Amino acid sequence: MSGKVVLHYFDGRGKMESIRWLLAAAGVEFEEVIITKREQYVKLMNDGALMFQQVPLVEIDGMQIVQTKAIMNYIAGKYNLYGKDLKERALIDMYTEGTIDLMDLMMLYYFFSEDKQKRLSDIEQKAKERFLPVFEKGLANSDFLVGNQLSRADVHLLETTLMLQELFPTILSTFPKIQAFQERMKALPRISKFLQPGSARKPPSDEVYVKTVKEVLSHLFK
């Protein structure tokens, strides 16, 4: 195993995108092995790399880590994106889980062909009424969601709100603190670099991505 950070996943956002965001925010260079064929997935399993027969898989510091949260916790801990003490960490975890709940809804949206409009309305309503007000309040008196420094919660919030705006361009119009937060975050050099075309950031899911995932994980989509 080389000293490089290597990501094994599909050529799309899915469960790997927040990991890409965290690495970018931490200024960590990484390589990607893109899974396009079922044989690659089966080989990773046969090699013993997938503890629960699932990707994402990340090679880092001589380890092969699976489970998205375990991977993100490691990166956040290592690169000082996880607060100054356990209490800050608990709050960061709460905000983080909220962003994951919302991002999961959006991720699943692309995989279903039925009830698209209803799913979309549901995401919009939950975002406006349940999730965004929490983050707006969290940013009322501070530039950061937790404490006085950047944490993974901020990185996840930027990712989530940009993703939301792809589906609902005006959704932040009644959330001025989040809008200002976005501008501050986008101006950070590492984030700004990640937002440039040609970076490792992936576009929204499309038909090719969904088809590839369904082929590689054909046992799930019979």
Ligand X SMILES: N[C@@H](CCC(=O)N[C@@H](CS)C(=O)NCC(=O)O)C(=O)O
Total interface residues for ligand X by CB under 6 A:
10
- Interaction of residue 15 with ligand X, rule CB under 6 A: yes
Between 118 and 222, CB nearer to ligand X: 222
Which range in 47-55, 91-99, 141-149, 182-190 contacts ligand X by CB under 6 A?
A: 47-55
Strand, coil or helix: what is 28? coil
- H or E element that contains 146: none
Rounded Cα distance between 111 and 107, Å, is: 7
**Tokens, residue 92:** 């960061």
Rounded Cα distance between 6 and 184, Å, is: 29
Indicate the DSSP class of residue 170: T
- Interaction of residue 222 with ligand X, rule CB under 6 A: no
**220 alpha-carbon distance from chain centroid:** 22
- Interaction of residue 220 with ligand X, rule CB under 6 A: yes
Rounded Cα distance between 21 and 159, Å, is: 7
Which range in 22-30, 52-60, 89-97, 159-167 contacts ligand X by CB under 6 A?
A: 52-60
Please, what is the minimum distance in Å from the beta carbon of residue 96 to ligand X? 13
Please, what is the minimum distance in Å from the beta carbon of residue 18 to ligand X? 10
**Tokens, residue 144:** 């950061």
Which positions from 58 through 87 interact with ligand X, judged by CB under 6 A? 67-68
Among 6, 30, 54, 91, binds ligand X (CB under 6 A): 54
Please, what is the minimum distance in Å from the beta carbon of residue 107 to ligand X? 9
- Interaction of residue 20 with ligand X, rule CB under 6 A: no
C-alpha distances in angstroms, 191 versus 77, 81, 154, 218?
A: 19, 14, 11, 35
| Binding stretches for ligand X (CB under 6 A) | 14-15, 53-56, 67-68, 217, 220
